[in-house]
Amino acid sequence: MPRRLPREVHIFPEDFPQGLERLKEASGLTWTELARRLGTNSLTLRRWRSGVRPNALHLLALQDLAASLDLAHLLPVVRGCHAGQ
């Protein structure tokens, strides 16, 4: 029987909405422009600010955008660990 690898669990930061607000303020972008650059819309950003988690593709786009603006330090980090650790 094949050996199963431990499942990776992602720990999503509770302060993600605040990090998004910090990124928006520091970048000088409007919510509409930020949404456009992330390939989404203002309603989605409003949902993220209220606590809804972005999907993996949007999270990567957000991290890439923050890095390109030299503002990656403003976003909280999503951490991964193996279940049972």
Any idea what the CATH number is for the domain that residue 46 is in? Answer: 1.10.260
Cα(71)–Cα(8) distance, integer angstroms: 27
Query: Is 29 contained in some domain?
Result: yes
pLDDT at 10: 63
Region 61-68 average pLDDT:
94
52-56, 66-70, 75-79 — which is least confidently predicted?
A: 75-79
Query: Is 11 contained in some domain?
Result: no
pLDDT of 82 > 50? The answer is no
Query: Is 51 contained in some domain?
Result: yes
| Residue 3 structure tokens | 């050996």
Region 4-15 average pLDDT:
71
Question: Residue 49 in contact with residue 20, Cβ under 8 Å?
Answer: yes
Question: Residue 32 in contact with residue 42, Cβ under 8 Å?
Answer: yes
Query: Is 44 contained in some domain?
Result: yes
Taking each helix axis as running N to C, give the angle between helix 16-27 and helix 56-68, from 0 to 180 degrees, rounded to the nearest 10: 40
Tally of structural domains, the chain: 1
Query: Is 2 contained in some domain?
Result: no
Segments forming the whole domain that contains residue 32: 17-82
Query: Is 8 contained in some domain?
Result: no
pLDDT of 81 > 50? The answer is no
Coil, helix or strand at residue 44: helix
- What does pLDDT average to over the chain? 86
Region 30-50 average pLDDT:
96
